[in-house]
């Protein structure tokens, strides 16, 4: 379907397309916000939701995706902040796919073919770190990490500052395991992830969600609950993967 400049495409006119069934299928992940960003961002990037497309009404989208309205609005705000969506008010208003979409330098073929492998390696390292930190972390180390999380709340509008603090937090958690090898592994993983994260936009809504995940993770570590710490870390990392999948430009 071709969309000419200034022309909008209603969601109703696309409802017959089988490819859209997967776009608006229920979201079942525990990381509902991030998965919704991925689902809509991927559909936009692949052209399933072309520039100018009007999204269904919030109530309809919530019903289709099986998510709360607050979760949907959080995802729509994030995609608006990244330049993928825009909202208009008044008669004929609604939420539309941006026209034109935000420009982005395409990643190399090597990056695109390896990014999930990088994320898999990160999952293996960081979940293990979370479990061992829950066993070994000293209260003073956790106090410092909690303070860092509070500081990150004030960095949501400055991604360079946010990312620097984010790296310090993850490496600090590895340091709390008292394992020099894990600190090295964490540092390497964070370096690889920085190259991937640099390829996408960084909406404050996404950064806020990630930092709230930090809070839950550290709370589990402080309780010495290794199982919950592993689960919280895994959900945190999957959230990043969803955002990458949704916002990463085409090669």
183-233 per-position pLDDT tens digit? 999 999 998 898 888 888 899 999 999 999 999 999 999 999 999 999 999
Spatial CA neighbour of 65 closest among 34, 30, 23: 23
Q: At what angle do helices 109-136 and 204-222 cross, to 10 degrees?
A: 30
Predicted local confidence at residue 111, as pLDDT: 63
- Correct CATH for 9-97 of 2.40.40.20, 2.60.40.790, 1.10.10.10, 3.30.70.260: 1.10.10.10
User: How much is the pLDDT for 250?
Assistant: 67
DSSP single-letter state for residue 53? E
Secondary-structure class of domain 109-247 per CATH: mainly alpha
Give the domain ranges of the chain: 9-97, 109-247
């Amino acid at each position: 379907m071709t969309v000419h400049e200034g022309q909008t495409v209603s969601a109703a006119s696309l409802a017959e397309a089988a490819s859209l069934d997967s776009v608006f299928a229920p979201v079942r992940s525990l990381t509902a916000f991030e998965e919704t960003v991925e689902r809509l961002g991927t559909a936009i990037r692949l052209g399933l939701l072309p520039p100018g497309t009007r999204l269904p009404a919030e109530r309809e989208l919530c019903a289709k995706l099986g998510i709360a309205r607050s979760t949907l609005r959080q995802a729509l705000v994030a995609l608006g902040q990244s330049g993928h969506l825009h909202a208009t008010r008044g008669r004929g208003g609604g939420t539309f796919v941006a026209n034109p979409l935000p420009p982005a330098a395409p990643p190399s073929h090597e990056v695109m073919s390896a990014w999930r492998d990088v994320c898999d390696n990160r999952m293996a390292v960081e979940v293990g770190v979370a479990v061992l930190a829950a066993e070994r972390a000293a209260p003073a180390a956790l106090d410092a990490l909690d303070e860092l999380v509070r500081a990150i709340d004030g960095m949501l509008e400055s991604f360079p500052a946010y990312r620097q603090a984010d790296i310090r937090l993850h490496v600090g958690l590895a340091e709390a395991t008292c394992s020099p090898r894990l600190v090295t592994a964490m540092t390497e993983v964070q370096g690889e992830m920085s190259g991937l994260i640099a390829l996408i936009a960084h909406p404050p809504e996404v950064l806020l969600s990630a930092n709230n995940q930090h809070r839950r993770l550290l709370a589990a570590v402080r309780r010495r609950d290794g199982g919950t710490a592993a689960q919280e870390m895994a959900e945190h990392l999957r959230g990043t993967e969803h955002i990458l999948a949704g916002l990463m430009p085409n090669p």
